[in-house]
């Protein structure tokens, strides 16, 4: 009779090398998490994966070679998933920043058009044109975010944010130049008296 057995042979040196490599990957991931958290990125889901990877590597350090190999594989999988989640969260934050700036810009445009009746003013039209350009970038960023192309989503969001900030600076400068203007709001009898 023929009897065959297939086994994975794992050397201690190989396991130690893999463990060391994944510990370095975990340290690099921690630095990235801290950096993005400081920028206001929501890293809670990433932190969960990081903790799972850290626990697996701690278990691997005290296990025998074949069990350690399994822990290291688990840790590597969690590290990869954490990187992907961090990439997504970072892109979402950049897109959100662009949206918030465009919203502020919209408030300024409304002020010029409705409160100051400047809809046909060339300076306001230039601001509106920049706003439309920012919205196009923002829309492309949203599309890329939905398509899971996070680096391109961040890039387009950054372009949109830059264009929106440019328009917002122009709008603030214009508002400063024209001042608040004369307004019949408030006490009308006082104005008539003056």
pLDDT band for position 183 (50/70/90)? very low
pLDDT tens track for 98-109? 999 999 999 999
pLDDT of residue 130: 95
pLDDT confidence of residue 85: 96
Tokens for 146?
A: 């939905």
Average of pLDDT values for 175-187? 62
Read off the pLDDT of residues 58-98 as tens digits, 9 standing for 90 and up.
Answer: 999 998 888 999 999 999 999 999 999 999 999 999 999 99
Distances in whole angstroms, Cα of residue 112 to Cα of each of 162, 182, 193: 21, 14, 29
Give the separation between CA 140 and CA 31, rounded to whole angstroms.
29
Task: Report yes or no: 109 and 98 within 8 Å, Cβ to Cβ.
Answer: no
Calculate the alpha carbon distances from 63 to 68, 71, 77, 175 in Å.
5, 9, 18, 68
4 exposure class (CB count in 10 Å sphere: 0-12, 13-18, 19+): exposed
Higher pLDDT, 175 or 43: 43
Query: Does the pLDDT value for residue 184 go beyond 50?
Result: no
pLDDT value of position 191: 46
Rounded Cα distance, 135 and 81, in Å: 31
Q: Which residues contact 54 (CB under 8 A, 6 or more apart)?
A: 26, 75
Return d(Cα 87, Cα 38) in angstroms, integer.
Answer: 15
């Amino acid at each position: 009779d023929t009897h065959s057995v297939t086994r994975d042979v794992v050397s201690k040196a190989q396991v130690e090398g893999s463990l060391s490599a994944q510990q370095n990957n975990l340290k690099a991931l921690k630095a990235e998490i801290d950096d993005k958290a400081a920028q206001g990125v929501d890293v809670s889901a990433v932190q969960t994966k990081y903790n799972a990877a850290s626990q697996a590597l701690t278990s691997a350090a005290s296990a025998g070679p074949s069990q350690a190999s399994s822990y290291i594989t688990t840790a590597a999988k969690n590290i990869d998933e954490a990187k992907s989640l961090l990439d997504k969260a970072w892109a979402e934050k950049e897109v959100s920043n662009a949206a918030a700036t465009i919203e502020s810009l919209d408030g300024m445009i409304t002020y010029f058009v409705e409160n100051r009746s400047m809809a046909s003013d060339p300076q306001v039209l230039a601001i509106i044109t920049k706003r439309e350009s920012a919205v196009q970038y923002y829309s492309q960023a949203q599309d890329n975010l939905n398509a899971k192309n996070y680096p391109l989503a961040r890039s387009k969001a950054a372009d949109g944010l830059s264009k929106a900030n440019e328009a917002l600076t122009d709008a603030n400068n214009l508002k400063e130049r024209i001042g608040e203007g004369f307004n019949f709001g408030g006490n009308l009898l006082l104005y008539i008296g003056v």
